[in-house]
Amino acid sequence: MPFADYKTALVTGASTGMGAAIAERLAKRGLTVHALARNEDRLTELADRTGAVPHVLDLTDTAALASALGPLEVDVLVNCAGVSRPGNILDSTEEDLDEIIDVNLRALLQLTRLTLPGMAQRDLGHIVNISSIAGLYNFYGHTAYHATKAAVHQISRQLRNDTVGKRIRVTEICPGRVETEIFGRNLGGSPEAMEEAWQTYYEGYESLTTDDIVNALDYAIETPRHVNIGMIEITPTFQVPGGLTFDRR
């Protein structure tokens, strides 16, 4: 079983939502999990609960990433960290654009650059990138977020070319709406914002849960060594991606 091939995992965005759930599952699978996020309290709680090794880091600080990773041999890299913003390019700020690009794209590339050569040298590894249907379909939302997730989709494909001939697998998990805190954080992150987001985006909907994402990741890693699950698009049954809007003037 491939899980038995791997010893060490690195999960970004591990303090909450999908990242925390993924870190917990990988720890249960017997891997030593290095959990990266900015929220020290939540990382500490995750470490106490799962035995994960916490790293309180800003993913956009490449020098800090390189220093923290050092000689660490990463067998499974899960790029899960991501940020979003409400609105679109018409009302974006300079800070909005920079943070979305820095976290969703630049940090993913830099972390992959730091860990993939070791996988190639050992001829063993698995990279899992969490993207979004926003990278594949056009719908109302933040333009920069769509752009970065589209880039993650293409990076996931390209990494297979970069490592051809090596026993390195790359999986993109491309979810629709998942019950996480992302919408609440977009609204400010207060308890009132979290409640408003829940009522607006989740109440009455049959959304995906973090368990659904974790089970997809588990399946991709557990497949035989000669099998690469390249992409899993997973949406709620009642959510239809894409569509056509024609605004009559």
Residues classed as catalytic: 145
The shares of helix, strand and coil residues in the chain, as percent rounded to the nearest 5, are: 50, 15, 35
**Number of H helices and number of E strands within the chain?**
10, 7
Kindly calculate the radius of gyration of the chain based on its CA atoms and give it in whole angstroms: 18
In order of 9, 125, 222, the CA distances from 75 in angstroms are 6, 5, 14
Beta bridge partners of 129: 79, 172
Check: CB of residue 215 under 8 Å from CB of residue 26: no
Q: Is 52 exposed, middle or buried (0-12, 13-18, 19+ CB in 10 A)?
A: buried
DSSP single-letter state for residue 248:
-
Conformation bin of residue 176: beta by default, left when phi > 0, alpha when psi is -120 to 50:
beta
Q: Give kind and range of the element (H or E) at residue 194.
A: helix 191-197
End-to-end CA distance of the chain: 58
